[in-house]
Structure 1
Amino acid sequence: MWAIARTELKKNIQDKGLWFWTFILPIVFMIAFVAIFSGDENTSYKEVVTQIIPGYTIMFAFYIMISMVIVFIKDRDKGMVARIASTPLPVRDYFIGKWIPFMLIVLIQIAVLFTFGVVVYDLPLGDPAALILLSIMLAFIVSGWGMALSVLVKTENMGIAFTQVIALGGAMLGGLWLPVEFMPGFMQTISKAMPQYWAIEGYKEIILQNGTAGDILFNAFILFGAGLAGCVIAFMAYPRFLRSARS
């Protein structure tokens, strides 16, 4: 398990494309949209920063799913999955070994983007314990869903397409681009079915309302439950994934 995790982490560190999607592009989007919306007289600068920094952090966290899909598909097509299946290594350890590096990368991504917000835009962070709890749950859901998607799709292109739908659709409906209260009533109802909604509302509670870990416990629970569902789906779909692996 740990050998798989170390190998995967080393490969990801060397992947320049991953660093672009994880750090450079989100920062470019943050700079652009803060500049655009900070001139709005009806919205305070603090509200703009609090909406955009966490919002784009959440949206781009979901893009780790593309990297996960690529890794799993390559392992399947190169025969790695079949070789591992022929060893005593449990399926659980294989998944955990693959999952740990991506979980760490998302946590680093969140830390870097929030640090950028603090340094450049004086973003208040609020209660550290609450912020860490919510960030761990965010990393858990995106990596859990990434594992599920990785064993369900047949090709990398399918995985990329589904990730775009989840990331962009969730951003639009979950209130990452626009505060939910500005949406029509029916969209506000739909947004509550999106994990992105619970993530952004949790961050707002911490940053704007000085919320504690107890105040965002329900948000964290929703994210954990959704992430756990992704893990369960990944385990259930693994036998089918294994049958499609090249020997």
Structure 2
Amino acid sequence: MNAIMIIELKKHIQDKGLLFWMLILPIIFTVLFIAMFTANVDAATKQQVILSIVPGYVVMFVFFIMISMVQVFIKDRDKGMTSRLASTPIPPYFYLLGKWIPFMYIVLVQIIVLFLFGRLVYDVPLGQPFVLLILSICLTFTVTGIGLAMSVIVRTENMGIALTQIVALGGAMLSGLWVPLEMMPDFMQTISRFLPQYWAHQAFQDAMAGNTVFTELLQTLLILFGIGVAGFVIAILRYPHFLKRSVN
């Protein structure tokens, strides 16, 4: 498993396309949308917009890692790497963990860098940095867990890209990452509570403001962790079907 992790991590670090999706594009969007929504507004409104957009775009863009996860698994399947590894004594869950954990490192670094960018450029508060770190780790687990499940379910890269856009952009829209939640219709506010983006965004905002309530934080962590575990379980259950489609 360690060998798979090291190899995968080296490949990801050298992937300039991944750097663009994970850091450059989120920063560009953050700058553009903050400039757009804070033009000709007072200082208090500007600060409110910034405090919503920075964590909102962090949450939205971490979900795009699922595209890279799908691509990696599909390439392994179609090149016969999956079937070759399956012929070794490595248990399936070691293979999945070896592929999964490097993406956790990448997403965690992405979240930290984007928050530091918000701090340095827009002076966003990081009121409870330890809570922010715990939330970041848990969100990382959730996002990559969903990506892991998707990677062994979809049949093609295009299907994975389409589903990622639905999850990332649809979830962002319904969870109040684009528009403040209180401005959305009641039925959309109800739907948002079933999405991980909502819980992560609300918890990040509370931690940034230093207003985290322990019971609410615990609820958020349990929800996010539960979704990640569900993704891993689904991946384990679907792995035999994924393996059958692998080139020998």
Aligning the two structures, in what range does the TM-score lie when normalised by the shorter sequence?
Answer: over 0.9
Deviation string 1:189-229 (CA, Å, 9 cap, x unpaired) is 11111110000000111112432665412111111111111
CA–CA distance in structure 2, aligned partners of residues 206 and 137 of structure 1: 14
RMSD: 1.3
Q: How does 1:160-199 map onto structure 2 within 5 Å?
A: 160-199=161-200
SS in 2 for 1:58: helix
1:111, 1:31 → 2: CA distance?
A: 17
- Partners of 1:213 and 1:28 in 2: CA distance: 34
**CA distance in structure 2 between the partners assigned to 1:121 and 1:213 by the alignment:** 27
Q: Matches of residues 75-154 of structure 1 in structure 2 within 5 Å?
A: 75-154=76-155
Counterpart check, 1:156 vs 2:157 = yes
Find the residue that maps to 2:106 and give its secondary structure: helix
Give 1:204's aligned residue.
205
Equivalent in the alignment of 1:12: 12
Match of 2:49 in 1: 48
Does the CA-based 8 Å contact 2:138-2:224 persist in structure 1? yes
TM, length-normalised to structure 1: 0.97
| Deviation digits for residues 27-81 of structure 1 (CA, Å, limit 9, x no counterpart) | 0000011111123449622211111111111111000000000000000001010
Give the Å deviation of 1:178: 1.1
Q: Is the 8 Å Cα contact of residues 126 and 211 (structure 1) preserved in structure 2?
A: no
Contact 1:127 1:212 in 2 (8 A): no
Distance 2:204 2:145 in 1: 20
State how many pairs are aligned: 247
Does residue 229 in structure 1 map to residue 230 in structure 2?
Answer: yes
Q: What CA distance in whole angstroms lies between the structure 1 residues aligned with 2:44 and 2:243?
A: 52
Residue identity opposite 1:37 in structure 2: F
Output the TM-score relative to the length of structure 2: 0.96
SS at match of 2:231: helix
Deviation for aligned residue 1:106? 0.2
Question: Is the 2:125–2:208 Cα contact (8 Å) retained in structure 1?
Answer: yes
State the one-letter code of the partner of 1:100. Answer: I
5+ residue gaps, structure 2: none
Whole-angstrom distance in 1 between the partners of 2:47 and 2:229: 34
SS across alignment from 1:216: helix
How far the C-alpha of 1:156 sits from its partner, in A, is 0.5
Check whether the contact 2:128–2:210 (CA below 8 A) recurs between aligned residues. Answer: no
Distance 1:180 1:65, change over 3 A: same
* Residue 244 of structure 1, CA deviation: 0.6
Give the Cα–Cα distance (whole angstroms) in 2 for the partners of residues 126 and 216 of structure 1: 15
Query: How far is 1:126 from its partner?
Result: 1.4
Query: After TM superposition, what 4+ stretches of structure 1 lie above 6 angstroms from structure 2?
Result: none
Task: Provide the rounded CA distance (Å) in 2 between the counterparts of 1:187 and 1:209.
Answer: 27
In 1, the alpha carbon distance for the partners of 2:76 and 2:214 equals 39
% identical aligned pairs: 57
Shift of residue 166, structure 1, vs aligned partner: 0.3
